[in-house]
Each structure stands twice: as C-alpha cells, then as structure tokens.
Amino acid sequence: MPLFPYLGGRMSYLGVEQSLTGRCWVGPAPEFERQAEALLQSSGLPLALCGVLARLGVDPAEVDSYLNPKLRDLLPDPRSLRDMETAATRFLTAVRTRQRIAIFADYDVDGGTSAALLIDWLRQMGRPATLYVPDRIDEGYGPNEPAMAALARDHDLIICVDCGTLSHDAIAAAKGADVVILDHHLGGETLPDCVACVNPNRQDEDGALAHLCAAAVVFLMLVEAGRQLREAGAKGPDLMAMLDLVALATVADVAPLKGVNRALVRQGLKVMAARARPGLVALSDVAKLESAPSSYHLGFVLGPRVNAGGRVGQADLGARLLASDNQHEAQAMAERLDGFNSERREIEAAVRGAALAQAEERGLEGPLVWAAGEGWHPGVVGIVAARLKEQTNRPAVVIGFDGPDGKGSGRSVSGVDLGASIQRLAAEGLLVKGGGHKMAAGLSVDKDKLEAAMARLGDLLAKQGAGTGGAADLRLDGMLMPGAANVDLIEQLETAGPFGQGSPSPRFAIADARITYTKQVGTGHLKIACDDGVGGRLEGIAFGAFDGPMGQALVNHGGARFHLAGRLEINEWGGRRSAQLRLEDAAPA
C-alpha cells in the first residue's frame, strides 16, 4: 500500500483511514517532506527534527536562531504599543509619590499572573498594592461599577489587568482615581475614558503583537518602567526573574508559541526550574511534579490548579498564591487550590458528559459544536468547551443557564477568530454581551435568543473555514523505528519547542510494531512495550486506553502487529532516563 493514499481530500498515513479510536491518520504533506530533506542536507540534523522544523515553517537559514532563540533579539519595543509610555509614566508616578495602588485582575491564570507580576515588582520597590479579583458567579468577568467605585474611594491609581477594554461604564464609575488598562482582549470602536489603555488588540493597533497574553503586556509595561527608571538614574527589579509568571500565562491562555512568545516561555521554564518563587514551588509540590517543568506542565498541571480558585472556590486565591513570598503561606494556599481542582474535576465530568451527549445529538459535523444546560456551573463551561473542541476539531461553545440567563464560554481552533465573531453577535443584539480573543471568548445570552445566536455564530465561523477539517484527524510528523526513538533524539526534538498552541507537539507513528508486553495500570491506563523484530525496543503508556476499544485491542493482540502513534517523552525513574511513547492511538498493521 502506498504511504500517502488519497482519501476524501486528505492523505491517510500508513493507510489508516479509521484507527482504533476512530481517527484518520494524516501525515506530512509532500512539500513538507521536500523541505525536511532540504533542511537535512543543509543542517545535518536528524530527519525527524527536520520534519518538525519544516512543519513549523523554519527556513534553512533560520535553523540556528530558531533552535537557540534569544529574548533580547525577539522582545519588541514596549513603546510600539499605543499608550505604553503614558501607562508606565503614570505607574512610576504612583510609585515615587507613594500613592495608593489597586490592581483589578481577571480570575483566570492570565489575570492572576498579571496581578502577581505587578505585586512582586511593587513589593521589591517597597510599595504595597491592593488586589481585587471579582467573583465569577456574583460579579462576572471584568470591572463592574460597584467594585470600581469602591476602589476609587480608597486608591489613587487602579490598574486593570486582563480586562477593562470594553468596560466603559465601570471605568467611568472610578471617580477620583486614575485608571490604567493592561489587556489583550479584542477592543471595540471606542475605548473607556482612562489615563491609558495598553492593548495589542485595540482596533487602532496594527496587530503585530496581537498574539501576546495580558501577562506579556504587563511585562512589557514593566520593561518600559525599567527604562524610564534607568533614564532617571534609578534601578528597578530583575525582570528576567519574573518570566516564570509570563511563561505560565502564555501557555495557560493558549497564546501561540511563536516568535517572542516562544522565547518568553522557553526562558520562563528555565526560571521556573530554579524553584525560586514560593507559590510555584508549593503548587508544583502539591501536584507531585517531579521533573523539570515543560509547557505541558504549565498548561495541564499548574494552570488548572491556579484557575480552580476562580472556577469553583475563592476567586483571588490563584493570584495571591503566585504573588506570595512566604513558603508556609504558599503551601497552605496550594493545598486549598489542589482541593478546589479536585472539586472542579467532579463538576466538570458531570457537565462534560451531558454536553457531549447533547452535542452529538445535534451533530458534530458543522462549523460549530455547542451545548447548553440548566444549572451547569459557569466555572467549568470553558473547560468543557475546550474538551469538545479537542474531540471534534471545531470551535465549541458551552453555556450554563440560571433561569432565562445564560453564561457561556467558547474555545476555537487554529485559524478561526472566535472572539471577533462573538463580539459581532453582541453588536447585533443576539448576545447580552460577549468578547474575548481569537482562541477563547465569553458570552452572556438570553434563553429565547439562544438558537438564533448559535445559528448565526455557526454561519460566521463557517466563513472563516471552521468545520472543513476532519473531526477525527490525527496529524503525524512522520514515522520512526522503535530503536530510533531514543533519549538523544527526544532531547533534540525538544530544542524545537516549547510546544503548545500554534506549535503542536511532534507526533510520530511507530509502524508495524510487535507488541511484547501489556499491563493495565491505575484506572484504565495501559503500559506497553513493542519492538521491530531487529533489536529496537520502545516502551509506552496510554492514559485512558480502556475508556475506548484501544486498550482491549492491544492487550488481546494475539500476536498481531500494530501501527502505534503518539508523542515521545523522556521517562525519569530511579535515576534512569529512557525514551517513552505517550501512546494516543493505534491501528492494525
């Protein structure tokens, strides 16, 4: 059978049109294979790495700079953003004259890290700050009039982070105080009346920095503040030591890991590995993170725990943990967040099952997958939307209703701007309110307009190409023999990272593998070993393998050979480092 038989407009890899998990395997396009060969000839790097670089669009002349990114070469001039110089000047005026500063932050990871950056910086300068994080259920997203009015009575400067760009009335309620906004959500036609609104997604920006999360915007403001301090003969805190917070926000807020974002995360992971921030140390320990952190840990281990307080517990707990400089205090907060995260998982599981059943009944082939239910907890609808998006490769929206009032959250796929479409629906009157950014958005909707709003949203997303890809494609970077999948290769592949949104982790097929060992472990997981019959051997683990047919099929292989697919990782156990396949799919060979 040819390696790339044509299938319905896509290319099935190794002839796998429907795997054990129901997916079509899609391999690298011929042009990427040609580019990989060119990179191999010019660089001498392993073909597997060259294939990943080709998929990422790296030219032969850029290989060295891509594999060794320098933040100083990629960091943009903060003053390229409108209002940045004004924001930093007003911030420093408050610091120098000992004015009272309040920080109004969103309740997610990006908001919490943004607040922690400012609190940490101010503390090192000997200045206190008041933290205010709204309750998700009682107050909702962003500044509200009562909170802003109350803060304005007791403070001279209010800094809104990861929120505020669309909050005209709430900002106007902050009478007697100056307001600075540091945000990245899509802006409207007009801006609130404030001292400065720094946002790469303002309508009058050129979009060159639209990929930045709010914490990166805050970081750039601190870079500008540091420049102004130096010009005045003073010195500010070490900003490089704060990149652990920027890295966490960038990954957790699904910002694309390209350009400066990739450099921020890469440097931030090094800072985090030094274990100098009490809050992140405590959170890593409670999560039993025993290896050096990776972007996976930021997105799937640490991020959800920081978020848990805002979802089902105490809204400001994540920000307070990240800003803490006391190890004992941090440990107590980390344990509380871990407990909230367990509670969140239970609530999420119930909502996810109901939402998936509803979405399947409605159909998963359109440009939008959505579900809505009475009493669904607003703290988990975003996570459930992300699960639906991952399962269907389509933008997804999940809405929880309390009587006639619905609050929802959506997640998008690469190349489809969900935030702009949600904002347009709000402008058209189909939503009470809505906004966000390309990959994630929030909304409020009246029950009697739900069907019309979702139909209109589906039309808008279809015009951007949503729903054209297979709902169950598994995209692979190439094929490896078990013996080639070793620690050295994995370490070389990691130099093309970190991986995440916009830069997916490499996935490879192990073709025609003989299963030599299987064992069910934990709750529905599978350990496996395979070889190629000529001495190469590879171990693997498949989490949740027995949730579907894959686990039983591999355990009861009966000597049959299989194609295996997944991500390579280094398994560290007992002082030994070995290659391991994070098995995601399999198909009879």
Residue 467 lies in a domain: no
Compute the distance between CA of residue 343 and CA of residue 311 in angstroms, rounded to an integer: 10
Residue 3 lies in a domain: no
Last residue of one domain, picked from the residues 462, 490, 506: 462
Give just the sign of the alpha carbon dihedral 305, 306, 312, 316.
positive
Compute the distance between CA of residue 345 and CA of residue 460 in angstroms, rounded to an integer: 32
Residue 7, pLDDT score: 39
Residue 271, pLDDT score: 97
Q: Are residues 368 and 308 in the same domain?
A: no
Q: Are residues 93 and 189 in the same domain?
A: yes
Angle in degrees, 0-180, between the axes of helices 418-427 and 450-462, rounded to the nearest 10: 130
Residue 11, pLDDT score: 61
Residue 313, pLDDT score: 84
Q: Are residues 447 and 491 in the same domain?
A: no
- Is the preceding omega at residue 498 within 30 degrees of 0, hence cis? yes
Residue 471, pLDDT score: 57
Q: How many domains does the chain have?
A: 3
Last residue of one domain, picked from the residues 338, 355, 383: 338
Q: Are residues 115 and 256 in the same domain?
A: yes
CATH of the domain at 583: 2.40.50.460
Which pairing describes strands 537-542 and 525-531: parallel, antiparallel, or unpaired? antiparallel
Residue 575, pLDDT score: 77
Where in 299-439 does DSSP place strands (E)? Answer: 369-374, 396-402, 405-411, 433-436
Q: Are residues 208 and 276 in the same domain?
A: yes
Residue 6, pLDDT score: 36
CATH of the domain at 416: 3.10.310.30
Residue 11 lies in a domain: no
Q: Are residues 87 and 130 in the same domain?
A: yes
Residue 202 lies in a domain: yes
pLDDT in tens, 3-56: 333 334 456 899 999 999 888 999 998 899 999 999 999 999 999 999 999 999
Residue 422 lies in a domain: yes
Q: Are residues 87 and 231 in the same domain?
A: yes
Last residue of one domain, picked from the residues 438, 462, 486: 462
Q: Are residues 85 and 176 in the same domain?
A: yes
The residues pairing with 526 across neighbouring beta strands, listed in sequence order, are 520, 542
Compute the distance between CA of residue 354 and CA of residue 448 in angstroms, rounded to an integer: 21
Q: Are residues 314 and 180 in the same domain?
A: yes
- 3-state SS string for 260-319: HHHHHHHHHHHHHHCCCCHHHHHHHHHCCCCCCCCHHHHHHHHHHHHHHHHHHCCCCHHH
Residue 468 lies in a domain: no
C-beta separation of 81 from 217 below 8 A: yes
Q: Are residues 206 and 319 in the same domain?
A: yes
* Distant-in-sequence, close-in-space partners of 451: CB < 8 Å, separation ≥ 6: none
Residue 296 lies in a domain: yes
Q: Are residues 255 and 312 in the same domain?
A: yes
Residue 358 lies in a domain: no
CATH of the domain at 200: 3.90.1640.30
Question: Domain span at residue 445?
Answer: 363-462
Residue 2, pLDDT score: 36
Compute the distance between CA of residue 11 and CA of residue 469 in angstroms, rounded to an integer: 12
Q: Are residues 322 and 393 in the same domain?
A: no
Exposed/middle/buried for 381, CB within 10 Å: 0-12, 13-18, 19+?
buried
Query: What residue ranges of the chain have pLDDT lower than 50?
Result: 1-9
